[in-house]
Amino acid sequence: MSLLILDTDPGVDDALALLYLRARADLKLLAITTVFGNADVETTTRNALWLRARLALPAPVYRGAAGPLTRPRGASPTHVHGENGLGDLDLSGVALSPADPGAAHERIIELVRAHPGKVTIVAIGPLTNLALALRAAPDIANLVAGVTIMGGAFAAGNVTPFAEANIHNDPEAAAGVLAAPWPVTLVPLDATLSCVLTNADARELAQQGEAGRFAHDVTRGYAKAYEQLDGCVLHDVAALVSLTRPELFETRVAPVSVALSGERLGQTVWAESGPTISVRLRADGAALARHFRETVA
Ligand code: RIB
Ligand code: CA
């Protein structure tokens, strides 16, 4: 049984990641920690609380960073995740409890120290909380089982021609996290873009029970942003599947750095030195999407 902390900016594909997690008895969710990204942190935290209630997830929700370490926060991608961050799904009718007390990065430190060698942090938003945790407690680098990140782009970006959103949203945080001496697995766009939940698959899922209906409903707005695919991309789900089904990926192990200035800001690049990172460079996207559908249905 793996113990997980999910650091997230919900986000439609983040919601699908939580749906997938709920269906996996081998993954125990210790906490959901929130971060700005797909919306401001008030909204991503509200969405995490909504998802906890809607999906009956027995985990605390800790609010995290409102903006990057050193830069102003960029605009929210409402054209992808809607005005409410969850594809403008109707969120009424679900009673929300407040966020649990404590800052995300402090709770990450406590949980990692409480379960030495056992906790995997799965980060599917900007890496600010992880950078703050490392800054306050560098010892956690030796105490985690691993850190799995959805982020980065080696061939082409999604927010600029070079950069992927989670890294571009806080490049200094990402640079610090990739330079730390902990075991990191990076799941970049190069792999995730092939992992597509087609609209036909979503319609079929909708006939297969409550979880499938939720996957269908929450992705309707998000799928419009991926109109050319006739479906939508399972970026954040791919980070979790990288843990449960690593054989679905091709991996390159090498140091990686982050461009911190110029037009390539936020690009992930192969580096000459530094800690080695396991980069999931390609995925069997069809098999991954099928695995997602079979798991949640
Ligand atoms: O670039 C894709 C990533 O950015 C995903 O994690 C998505 O939810 C957004 O955070
Ligand atoms: Ca995300």
Q: Give the residue extent of every domain in the chain.
A: 2-296
CB atoms within 10 A of CB 90: 9
Task: Ligand 1 pocket test: pick from 6, 7, 12, 13 the residue with the most ligand atoms within 8 Å of its Cβ.
Answer: 13
Query: How many angstroms does the Cα of residue 64 sit away from the middle of ligand 2?
Result: 14
Under 8 Å between Cβ of 97 and 106: no
Known catalytic residue at 81: no
pLDDT < 50 positions in the chain: none
Task: Ligand 1 pocket test: pick from 6, 9, 189 the residue with the most ligand atoms within 8 Å of its Cβ.
Answer: 9
Under 8 Å between Cβ of 201 and 297: no
- State whether residue 231 is helix, strand or coil: strand
pTM of the model: 0.98
Fold of 2-296: Inosine-uridine Nucleoside N-ribohydrolase; Chain A (3.90.245)
**What pLDDT, on a 0 to 100 scale, did the predictor assign at position 226?**
85
Buried residues in 127-152 as b, exposed as e (16+ CB within 10 A) = bbbbbbbbeebeebbebbbebbbbbb
Q: What are the C-alpha distances in Å from 226 to residues 42, 120, 187, 196, 199?
A: 26, 30, 20, 10, 10
Ligand 1 pocket, residues with Cβ under 6 angstroms: 9, 11, 13-14, 37-38, 124-125, 150, 158, 164-166, 235-236
CA separation for the pair 284, 91 (Å, rounded): 34
The active-site residue, picked from 105, 168, 235, 291, is: 235
Query: How many angstroms does the Cα of residue 5 sit away from the middle of ligand 1?
Result: 17
Known catalytic residue at 115: no
**What pLDDT, on a 0 to 100 scale, did the predictor assign at position 1?**
81
**What pLDDT, on a 0 to 100 scale, did the predictor assign at position 225?**
87
- The amino acid sitting at 156 is A
* Burial grade of 121 (CB within 10 A; 0-12, 13-18, 19 or more): buried
- Residue-wise pLDDT tens digits, 1-36: 889 999 999 999 999 999 999 999 999 999 999 999
